[in-house]
């Protein structure tokens, strides 16, 4: 009785766990919290925020307080005597320096603002990449599940056909060839099942790497779901958006501007600098060898300090040439990133339209394959079809269903990649996609 209750409890727990599968949005929320790649991008974005403060610091006053304290032993050597005494000296200086003209510091401040903008663009790109990576891993698991289900269904159908071939051979209405063919198909299905199980485990592990925990049961695509065409339906607007709004393009444009300002910053090595300086100094010295007692001194000063660089061993010229070369590199990188974004938009757009056409064709093929299977089964029963005809029709039907499911997943992924290339992918797009799933 006790074992029965324990078994019932375990069964109930398993059924309860299976009943609560995770959908795409839930997996995405897990990834937001646990994906190390996204966590690294978030930390980089936080670090990038400090570039403005660091750049501004070189334009603000610098205030320093320095001090010293020492004890000195002094011996005065004369012909008459050798007097000796000890005294202490204490001093402190409070100084202030305010840059009035330092062009290099100004360019550094502008670069800091641009670097902060780069970190923002890179983080936005990381958010889009996370949506794409999570969706790809999610649909890869569903694809593997569908492939495994197709192999299992085909295995069951082949098992039934094998049993039928054996019965017909026993009664003399079929040859041993039908049995051998069905047995060969069954053995192949067993091998394919092992391969499908292994592939599913690999895909689940890939998803686990993103969310940081074992992959739960996933919500699947609704039966007969209809996918929409991209809007706008023309390619040119998508390519134009990719060339202008893609976050990698925006980051490269900012990097080019930083490279330009680096040239100006290095050229500032030839320019004079002007600073406002002020200081307050105080020193105290104890009495020694005199009757005047301890002495204290206060010094206050304020003024400007200028520097004109004359020669630095050709180092400034070398840095300018280096900065010019790096600007050329940044411009070439920008051109490459822009072309890559445009090509990604083209591929995703064509892939989505091709996927929609494939889905439509495979939906028709599924209906035709189902009719063909029923016709072959009927023909086999009346003796006008052989066992291999039924097996081929079964394989065609299951392969068509598998290919149809994969075509739908690929089409949805092309839609996400298209928006990512155009720089318009948001969490709302993931929410709309999640509405096509059912737990």
Query: CA–CA separation, 78 vs 81, rounded Å?
Result: 6
Query: What is the distance between the alpha carbons of residues 71 and 92, in angstroms, rounded to a whole number?
Result: 15
Q: Which two tokens stand for residue 17?
A: 């766990």
Predicted local distance difference test score (pLDDT) of residue 392 = 82
Residue whose C-alpha is closest to residue 31's, from 208, 221, 219, 217: 208
pLDDT given for residue 168 in this prediction: 75
Looking at 1.10.540.10, 2.40.50.100, 1.20.1600.10, 3.30.1370.30, the CATH number of the domain 21-59+102-272+314-438 comes to 1.20.1600.10
CB 144 within 8 A of CB 206: no
| Residues 64-100+275-307, CATH architecture | Single Sheet (2.20)
CA distances from 436 to 25, 41, 221, 222, 409 (A): 12, 30, 6, 6, 11
**pLDDT on residue 12:** 44
- The residue ranges of every structural domain in the chain are 21-59+102-272+314-438, 64-100+275-307
pLDDT in tens, 322-366: 999 999 999 999 999 999 999 999 999 999 999 999 999 999 999
Region label for 423, one of left (φ > 0), alpha (ψ between -120 and 50) or beta (otherwise): left
| pLDDT at site 21 | 80
**Which ranges of the chain have pLDDT less than 50?**
1-19, 79
pLDDT at 39: 96
pLDDT at 273: 95
Identical fold between 21-59+102-272+314-438 and 64-100+275-307:
no
- In sequence order, the 6+-apart residues with CB closer than 8 A to the CB of 234 are none
């Amino acid at each position: 009785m006790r074992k029965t209750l324990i078994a019932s409890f375990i069964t109930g727990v398993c059924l309860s766990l299976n009943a609560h599968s995770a959908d795409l949005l839930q997996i995405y929320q897990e990834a937001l919290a646990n994906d190390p790649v996204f966590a690294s991008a978030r930390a980089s974005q936080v670090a990038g925020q400090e570039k403005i403060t660091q750049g501004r610091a070189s334009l603000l006053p610098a205030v320093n307080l320095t001090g010293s304290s020492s004890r000195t032993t002094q011996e005065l050597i004369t012909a008459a005597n050798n007097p000796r005494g000890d005294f202490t000296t204490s001093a402190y200086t409070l100084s202030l320096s305010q840059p009035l003209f330092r062009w290099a510091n100004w360019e550094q401040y502008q670069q800091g603002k641009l670097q902060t903008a780069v970190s923002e663009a890179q983080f936005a790109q990381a958010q889009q990449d996370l949506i794409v990576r999570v969706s790809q891993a999610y649909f890869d698991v569903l694809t593997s599940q569908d492939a495994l289900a197709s192999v299992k269904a085909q295995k069951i159908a082949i098992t039934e056909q094998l049993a039928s071939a054996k019965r017909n051979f026993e009664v003399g209405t079929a040859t041993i060839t039908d049995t051998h063919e069905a047995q060969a198909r069954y053995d192949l299905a067993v091998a394919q099942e092992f391969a499908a199980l292994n592939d599913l485990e690999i895909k689940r592990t890939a998803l686990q790497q993103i969310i940081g925990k074992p992959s739960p049961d996933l919500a699947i695509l609704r039966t007969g779901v209809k996918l929409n065409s991209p809007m706008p339906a023309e390619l040119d607007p998508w390519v134009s958006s990719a060339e202008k709004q893609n976050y990698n393009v925006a980051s490269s444009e900012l990097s080019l501007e930083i490279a330009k300002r680096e040239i100006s910053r290095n050229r500032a090595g030839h320019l004079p600098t002007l600073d406002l300086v002020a200081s307050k100094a105080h020193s105290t010295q104890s009495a020694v060898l005199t009757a005047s007692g301890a002495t204290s001194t206060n010094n206050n000063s304020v003024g400007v300090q200028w520097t004109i660089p004359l020669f630095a061993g050709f180092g400034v010229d070398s840095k300018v040439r280096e900065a010019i070369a790096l600007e050329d590199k940044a411009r070439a990188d920008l051109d490459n990133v822009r072309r890559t974004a445009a090509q990604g938009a083209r591929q995703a757009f064509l892939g989505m339209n091709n996927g929609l056409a494939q889905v439509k064709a495979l939906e028709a093929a599924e209906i035709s394959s189902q009719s063909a299977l029923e016709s072959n089964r009927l023909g086999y029963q009346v003796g006008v079809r052989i066992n291999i005809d039924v097996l081929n029709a079964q394989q065609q039907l299951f392969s068509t269903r598998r290919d149809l499911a994969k075509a739908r997943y690929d089409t949805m992924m092309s839609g996400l990649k298209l928006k990512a290339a155009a720089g318009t992918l948001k969490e709302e797009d993931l929410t709309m996609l999640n509405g096509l799933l059912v737990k």
